[in-house]
Structure 1
Amino acid sequence: MIHLITGGSASGKSAYAEQLIRVETKDTGRIYLATMVKGNDSENAARIQKHRDRRESLYFQTIEQATGLKDLEIPKGSTVLLEDVPNLLANEMFSPAGNMDLAVSSVLDGLHHLMEQAGNLYIVTGEVFTEGIEVYDDMTLRYLENLGRIHQDLGKRADAVTEVVYGIPVKIKEYEK
């Protein structure tokens, strides 16, 4: 089962994904796949620590993998929470380990590889598109277009899609068992 969970910044999408996993899966074989690069940013470090603290009691094995998901091997049938697609794309586009021209295919190949291995895959992504901004620089526009392509692919493949708005889950596509 693949569940795509989206929403704006600080909308509660990560907490919602974790809640779904608590309710829908066993307490074993859970993998939290973290894609954020800590770097020298104290705000990122605080966000990473907040997520680590929240996961402590949820029986997750944490794997930090900023790029190259297509090379990641996980136990077959695991429950995976991937946090999150916008970070993963930014890492693939802009980090020294990534490749700007191959970023979309690298992200999609990695996600498809996870789909083949995981029993349940919960993918957290974000709505980073901003209404009212008329002009983006070329690099930002390329990033947004790439993220849109990835979202379209994931939306088609997902069994369920939920947008979290102000902490309220809104079902876009429902899973049929």
Structure 2
Amino acid sequence: MIHLVLGGARSGKSRYGEALVRQYTALGFDACYVATAQALDDEMATRIAKHQAGRSDDGVEWKLFEEPLALTATLARLAKPGRVILVDCLTLWLTNQLLVSNHQVNDEPAPTEWSASDFVTTTSTDKALANWQAEKTAFVDALTELEGVVILVSNEVGSGIVPLGELSRQFVDEAGWLNQAVAALADNVTLVVAGLPLALKPL
């Protein structure tokens, strides 16, 4: 069973995803948390620490897996009947994939640190996009084969101002298309706004 949880920044989407997990653990499921974020700067490290602190006393015995890139293989390895997996989040995974793809195309090592300005100025190429498209296709195809319950958290980034910069606009486009592809096959899709969940699928 696939449940996609969408929302903007500070919408409450992660908290809602964690609440869904608690519903399953109350039924006897074990819980895995797959984190795609990387603590590559102080601000992101602080964000991650806050998320971790919030989970430390929520009553769930989480098994934590940090996976910024190989999300498809990780889910295939972890998913099984009687288990609920929370992935937070798909858009950070997309960011990691685009950064790595662009650096690979330019024969550069993958970055060990990056900032928003690095992401915006990275050269975009057709080959980098092709690498991402192949990764996305493999991911979406694999979702249909997963056992147990997988809850995917993702940012809804297309409702604001169109960003400046080619790669920033590319990111918004790719995030929207990724969300559409996952939503098309998901059993449930929920949009969280101001902490309130709105069921999009099933209606």
Please indicate the TM-score interval, normalised by the length of the shorter structure: 0.7 to 0.9
* Secondary structure in 2 matching 1:32: strand
1:173 aligned residue: 201
Q: TM-score, normalised by structure 2?
A: 0.76
Amino acid in structure 1 at the alignment position of 2:65: I
Unaligned runs of 5+ in 2: 101-109, 112-126
* Divergent runs of 4+, >4 A: none
Match of 2:120 in 1: none
Alignment partner of 2:70 out of 49, 68, 71: 68
Q: CA deviation at 1:121?
A: 0.6
SS of match in other structure, 1:50: helix
1:115 shift after superposition: 4.8
Alignment-mate amino acid for residue 78 of structure 2: I
Amino acid at match of 1:167: G
- The one-letter code matched in structure 1 to 2:19 is Q
Q: Percent identity?
A: 28
Change (3 A) 1:132 1:145: closer
1:123 deviates by: 0.4
- Superposed CA RMSD: 2.1
The answer on 1:131 being equivalent to 2:160 is yes
Q: How does 1:10-25 map to 2 (within 5 A)?
A: 10-25=10-25
- Structure 1 unmatched ranges of 5 or more: none
- Paired AA for residue 22 in structure 1: R
Residues 29, 114 of structure 1: CA spacing in aligned structure 2 closer, same or farther, 3 A cutoff? farther
Structure label with greater radius of gyration: 2
Q: How far does the alpha carbon of each residue in 1:50-95 deviate from its partner, in whole angstroms, 9 at most, with x for none?
A: 1112222311101000002233211522211000011000000003
Matched, 1:79 2:84: yes
- The whole-number CA distance in structure 2 between the counterparts of 1:58 and 1:90 is 28
